[in-house]
Structure 1
Amino acid sequence: MTPSSSFWFSSFKLVLLPLLVFLLVVVSTLGPQQPSSLHPLSFASSLLQEPTSNNSILNGSSTDSSFLEAETDFFAPNIPFSDAIMEKETPRHDMSKNKESEAAVKRNSKLERIEANLARVRSSIKQAALVRNLTSTHQDPDYVPQGPIYRNANAFHRSYMEMEKLFKIYVYEEGEPPIFHNGPCRSIYSSEGRFIHELEKGKFYRTRDPDEALVYFLPFSVVMLVHYLYKPESHKTDAIGRVVVDYVDVIAGKHRYWNRSLGADHFMLSCHDWGPRASSYVPDLFHKSIRVLCNANTSEGFNPSKDASFPEINLLTGEVEGLLGGPSPSRRSILAFFAGRLHGYIRYLLLNEWRDKLDPDVQVFDQLPRGVSYMSKLKNSRFCLCPSGYEVASPRIVEAIYAECVPVLISDNYVPPFSDVLNWKAFSVQVAVKDIPNIKNILMGISQRQYLRMQRRVKQVQRHFVVNAAPKRYDVFHMINHSIWLRRLNILVRDFDS
């Protein structure tokens, strides 16, 4: 090598070596970085995608996104590709770590299969919603939804049948009766207790495997919390709130599912007026979870796209015997009827306007005369007035439906039960609070032909509100579950490791 070439070679090395070092630093800086510590709650919200629409997919109104087109076939193999790689390449001396990783992959692939199935369901319901027939085109040995009582009979029927095949609920086992896993099956709060007890029996929808569940139930009873923890006349609910906070903390600390979605695939259920208040002590429970509430008041944070309204049913004996049915329309001599104590400003307006008029057509009482049967009045009325009390829900709505009396809803900010499926305008009358003085004129303005149609529809919709000793398809227990099912269809959940 000549002196000249040796000089240039040495100079080249002096330039090349620093350049290589610089490139290695840049590459290492741009490469993937693993966070040293990241709490699940700080990123779980980005794993959860919510729809931009407030409406149910039953109306074909959910926003299209890529996951709606997912196919279940992609997740069909029993052993995921990543599992096979792991089994082949993991060293034998690290088997415990391998098992943990393998379990995580299996959990993730199970959730992916669940979400793929739900994507298929969304697509099938949206297709069914395109059929605008009044009668469902699907076959069913028990009942085929039909008529204007449904927003879309075909979409509802498709959704219901998919629910029966796929819906699974995991009930957290933490907590002891009487506050947890328990509730009243009689009285005005029977809806709450009956649902809890039916779910605890495990005959419908319940799964013991949390990894295959679509939703997770927080089995506390607000009625029981109030009964055991509230001091009468104190107006303080902090003790109730502390129990709810502690319970969610236990669930979040012991199980992985709450933090995975910030509670969005979890639900609570309450028919007590204080259900919304009890949920407010846990912000994610209030704002993200599915709250199944009788007190479905939009002015108090009830969100129809994620919360579900369910009916308040007053079962004095725990049974519906003697409550169902009534005389034919031609034998109903009373135009409109209400009896109930002063309970909130809407009832005050109603009683103040109609109680002392002694109008034989519009009979309004704060207390029925001695010897007069409340049930007899319901069954002899064409229209039954259902004003809100201190809270928006009223058991009189279901009482009217049971008695085959057309319900007249008088409320503000109330979302009626199952209203994403049922078209309440087809079988009820809705009167604004400001129109209470005009109730008689409004009801007299409904033609005989229109009234007969509405009354027939009340008889048809009755099956969706009946409480059966053993639940039957399409009854109130299954309709409540269907409402929860629809809310689960509104979200996409991904796991931490996705």
Structure 2
Amino acid sequence: MATATTTAVFPLLLLFAAAVAVPSSPYLSPTTLFQNYQKMLTNFKIFIYTPAKPFTFQNPAASLFYSSLLNSPFLTQEPTEAHLFLIPFSPETSTRSLARLVRDLRINHPYWNRSLGADHFFVSPTGIDYSADRNALELKKNSVQISVFPVISGKFIPHKDITLPPVNLAARFISAVPENASTSSFLGYLKWDGKTESNFVEELRKDGDFLIDIERELLDPVENVKNSKFCLLFYAGDVAWMVEAMALGCVPVVIVDRPIQDLPLTDVLRWSDLGLLVAARGGAKRLKEVLNDVSEEKYNVMREMASAASKHLVWNEEPQPLDAFHMVIYQLWLRRHTIRYARRESF
């Protein structure tokens, strides 16, 4: 099964490897990524503990990831072959129940104690909190948490945790980035929920260089994305359309008043070069200054990179080579040799 997967992905990997020589590559390290991805396809093995009871994920990204993993060639029924261990539990599981779950793993299986859970991971769409209980604390501090972007502040540990790209079904049907970005009608386009940063949005509405779509009231949002140089996203708002916007050649601008480290695929993509982070507290005037300060040459590079990166943020019902599912698995592959915290720090 792994061999078939490798054969199917080979033509795409040839194109992927060509990115090594492209200055505008969206990847942190194209050569390393290409080599590691091939090794992952043929070698990576994950063991899933039997859940205490059946459960489902209501979040689309978490559901797609979990169902794709259950049907993937990465699974093994032999725990001695596994690089990582998945602890499955319902998103509604309480902290006390999580502590009991880890305690049972510690007592009934030999794998947790080898690394205090550093070679384990779990899926929690919103992330889990810290706890005074030793078992729950080890899960939080040592095991890899997979959540959905964006994650509530304080529930994400950057050096080990992973976020899932939001699901946008339309993005999978976009095959080419539109041309003539220099003739864009608008400097920035924003899909607004009608609530987030209302004063800031009101400033944007008064400026003819920005187009505001209030709760999808515009008749053709795709055309308006194509006709805008930058697509504005509130970090705490609707981010699911980010992938579609990037695929259409609209450079993403995340509006947030604090540093963030939970962007999807941070081990793979050069987010600092393909998008912008701008603080809302500077107002519309400051935002406009930042966007206008981007030279045409730099903008064209960012646009090309954003479009290329979007292909790895797309979810498919049946996983495809180099898509969101495989990139998340790749990030897990990179964490298979995680160094655990010292034992005294786990209390």
Matches within 5 A, 1:285-296: 285-295=139-149
Structure 1: give runs of 5+ residues left out of the alignment. Answer: 1-138, 226-238, 494-498
Q: Which residue of 2 aligns with 1:400?
A: 245
Matches within 5 A, 1:85-484: 140-141=13-14, 143-144=16-17, 145-146=19-20, 147=22, 148-177=25-54, 179=55, 182-184=56-58, 189-201=59-71, 203-222=72-91, 225=92, 240-271=94-125, 274-277=126-129, 282-295=136-149, 299-315=153-169, 320=171, 322=173, 327-328=178-179, 329-330=181-182, 332-342=184-194, 347-348=197-198, 350-355=200-205, 357=206, 359-369=207-217, 372-389=219-236, 394-411=239-256, 412-415=258-261, 416-437=263-284, 438-484=286-332
Q: For 1:420 and 1:475, locate their aligned partners in 2 and report how far apart those are by CA, in whole Å.
A: 15
Q: 1:408 to 1:398 in 2, by over 3 A?
A: same
Contact 1:280–1:286 under 8 Å retained in 2: no
CA RMSD in angstroms, aligned pairs only: 2.9
SS in 1 for 2:129: helix
Counterpart of 2:99, as a letter, is V
Q: Which residue of 1 aligns with 2:3?
A: none
Counterpart of 2:89, as a letter, is F
Q: For 1:287 and 1:459, locate their aligned partners in 2 and report how far apart those are by CA, in whole Å.
A: 35
The CA deviation at 1:394 is: 2.8
Q: For 2:199 and 2:161, locate their aligned partners in 1 and report how far apart those are by CA, in whole Å.
A: 30
Contact 2:27–2:268 under 8 Å retained in 1: yes
Q: For 2:283 and 2:271, locate their aligned partners in 1 and report how far apart those are by CA, in whole Å.
A: 19
SS in 2 for 1:384: strand
Q: 1:414 to 1:213 in 2, by over 3 A?
A: same
Find the structure with the greater CA-based Rg.
1
Counterpart of 2:244, as a letter, is E
Q: For 2:80 and 2:250, locate their aligned partners in 1 and report how far apart those are by CA, in whole Å.
A: 45
The CA deviation at 1:280 is: 8.7
Counterpart of 2:80, as a letter, is D
Higher share of residues assigned helix:
1
Q: Which is further off, 281-290 or 239-248?
A: 239-248
- Give the number of equivalent residue pairs: 320
Counterpart of 1:333, as a letter, is S
Contact 1:410–1:430 under 8 Å retained in 2: yes
The CA deviation at 1:250 is: 3.5
Q: 1:399 to 1:247 in 2, by over 3 A?
A: farther
Q: 1:331 to 1:218 in 2, by over 3 A?
A: farther
SS in 2 for 1:383: strand
The CA deviation at 1:472 is: 2.2
SS in 1 for 2:336: helix
The CA deviation at 1:221 is: 4.2
Contact 2:16–2:34 under 8 Å retained in 1: no
Structure 2: give runs of 5+ residues left out of the alignment. Answer: 1-11, 342-347
Q: For 2:296 and 2:177, locate their aligned partners in 1 and report how far apart those are by CA, in whole Å.
A: 18
Q: For 1:452 and 1:397, locate their aligned partners in 2 and report how far apart those are by CA, in whole Å.
A: 18
Q: 1:397 to 1:320 in 2, by over 3 A?
A: closer
Q: For 1:241 and 1:325, locate their aligned partners in 2 and report how far apart those are by CA, in whole Å.
A: 46
Q: Which residue of 2 aligns with 1:51?
A: none
Q: For 1:481 and 1:451, locate their aligned partners in 2 and report how far apart those are by CA, in whole Å.
A: 31
Q: For 2:319 and 2:292, locate their aligned partners in 1 and report how far apart those are by CA, in whole Å.
A: 38
What is the TM-score with the length of structure 1 in the denominator?
0.58
The CA deviation at 1:152 is: 2.0
Q: For 1:476 and 1:295, locate their aligned partners in 2 and report how far apart those are by CA, in whole Å.
A: 13
SS in 1 for 2:16: coil
Q: For 2:300 and 2:240, locate their aligned partners in 1 and report how far apart those are by CA, in whole Å.
A: 23
Q: 1:477 to 1:300 in 2, by over 3 A?
A: same
Q: For 1:460 and 1:172, locate their aligned partners in 2 and report how far apart those are by CA, in whole Å.
A: 36
The CA deviation at 1:352 is: 4.3
